[in-house]
Amino acid sequence: MKKSLAGLLGRPWSMLNQWLFATPERSLEQAYDAALAIRSLEERHFGGGKIDYTSPERSERVNAYFKSELQRNLNIVKLRLAEFRTSRSFLSFSDKKLIGVNGATASWQNGVEGFEADEAVSAIVEKLQFIDSVVLKYERPAKSQSLVPVQPASAFDPARNATYSAAGPAYPQELELAESAEAMADKTSFLPRSILGTIDRVRKELDPNAEEQLIRSFRSSKSKTIVSLRFILLIILIPLLTQQVSKKFLVGPIVDHLWRPSEEVFLNVQMEEEALLELQRFEEELRFRSLLTGSQKLTEEEMVPLLKDKAREIEEEYRQRGSNAIKNIFSDLLALIAFTMVLVFSRREVTILKSFMDDIVYGLSDSAKAFIIILFTDIFVGFHSPHGWEVVLASIARHFGLPESRDFIFLFIATFPVILDTVFKYWIFRYLNRVSPSAVATYRNMNE
């Protein structure tokens, strides 16, 4: 059983390992192809010079096409180079393989077929130099690292109202992040915040540019909300779709092919005990029904065929459960990788989402803050929370085909809610107590 399960787990893992070690080469090739596409546009339509999508000699639609193609390929180069750097820095810790060119990999020690290490490095450097020669001419000069640049143009400029350009969805130029709650918490003042807030509000209302600033603030808040909601949908849908699609079309066929009928049915002893108990209940049910109907008592010869049919049914059910558990392991791993990649390549969206959540949390009333804190603490670290954690851990164990270890569950319940409770209390003491002392007072009164 152990050998068959190890072989089942080893083959997909080997395929995943090969795919992972080919990631730097694949990313660099895609970035190189995008740079070639840009160079092709330059040579065919702009005489080898820089792509100019603002020329009055061309129609607006033609300029929009060149702009969209340029932006699309620049985005591909940026994303793939980031993936190239991240994957190479990760793979350098493995000290196993060096990614070569055109699908070849060179071993550090034994030397397998493919290019030599120095030839691979030379090819990588040549491609990176070519990509730099194409892309650097379109990069803006380095400025202060603000999240989104703000143009000094008028707020009523129609060009700034476009949320979507010809290149696709883009961030508006007027998008500005509000001050983070952590920075607000670190500020101290001699006067209460409510008085300072009132003075600041009156000052802004008397400002002759208050209306323009209000419009800019509204547009910024609207853009931030749209970006945040879109990103929330992405981080939910992408891992979910990755898990479902990979389980059905990638992991599922591989596991079904390797999960031979001759192999053992049960992944662990607990599943075997459950199947045996189910078969015993079926036998007792047959005897009970024969007594209720008043018919002649079933003999052993009559019960054996019925028990065999039920045993085959139970066998098929638990074989399917074991196969499904193996599929869940690999499909969930791919979903986790997809989720991590979304976060790594969407740092700007993560920052905007953090600011959006801070605005929501710290913008609630004191009673609403206290209510949410009490609700979450009672659910996760309250008196009845151990029962919920026990159900969650048992469901996770069944999802991955693992035995339900009561010792592990009790140890987890005895430690993790305590740590979570400490984190809640520290957040209340460190941040909320500075930003909204009245909310903390309301929370204590409601808790008492």
- What separation, in Å, do the N-terminal and C-terminal C-alpha atoms of the chain show? 56
Residue with tokens 């054996």: 304
Asked whether the predicted pLDDT for residue 242 surpasses 90, the reply is yes
Provide the pLDDT for residue 290: 78
Provide the pLDDT for residue 170: 40
Report the percentage of the chain scoring pLDDT > 70. Answer: 73
Q: What's the whole-model pTM score?
A: 0.51
* Amino acid at position 303, single letter: M
Provide the pLDDT for residue 429: 84
Asked whether the predicted pLDDT for residue 414 surpasses 60, the reply is yes
- Mean of pLDDT values over 359-373: 84
Low-confidence winner among 22-36, 196-210, 363-377 (lowest mean pLDDT): 196-210
Model confidence band, residue 137 (pLDDT cutoffs 50, 70, 90): confident
Model confidence band, residue 343 (pLDDT cutoffs 50, 70, 90): very high
Model confidence band, residue 232 (pLDDT cutoffs 50, 70, 90): very high
* Amino acid at position 104, single letter: A
Report the percentage of the chain scoring pLDDT > 90. Answer: 9
Most confident range (mean pLDDT) of 164-173, 287-296, 406-415 is 406-415
Model confidence band, residue 342 (pLDDT cutoffs 50, 70, 90): very high
Displacement of CA 42 from its chain's centroid (Å): 37
- Mean of pLDDT values over 167-179: 39
Any idea what DSSP says for residue 383?
T
Token output for 327: 């599929």
Rounded to 5 degrees, what are φ and ψ at 251?
-70, -40
CA distances from 30 to 5, 42, 334, 443 (A): 37, 19, 21, 54
pLDDT digits (tens, 9 = 90+) for 42-81: 888 887 788 888 877 777 777 888 888 888 889 888 888 8
Q: Compute the distance between CA of residue 233 and CA of residue 142 in angstroms, rounded to an integer.
A: 32
Q: Compute the distance between CA of residue 332 and CA of residue 340 in angstroms, rounded to an integer.
A: 12
Provide the pLDDT for residue 11: 57
The C-alpha angle 22, 23, 26, rounded to 5 degrees, equals 85
Q: Compute the distance between CA of residue 332 and CA of residue 347 in angstroms, rounded to an integer.
A: 23
Q: Compute the distance between CA of residue 407 and CA of residue 105 in angstroms, rounded to an integer.
A: 46
* C-beta pairs of 201-206 under 8 Å, 24+ apart in sequence: none
Provide the pLDDT for residue 184: 44
Model confidence band, residue 318 (pLDDT cutoffs 50, 70, 90): confident
pLDDT digits (tens, 9 = 90+) for 371-404: 888 888 888 887 778 888 888 898 898 888 888 8
Give the residue with greater pLDDT, 231 vs 429: 231
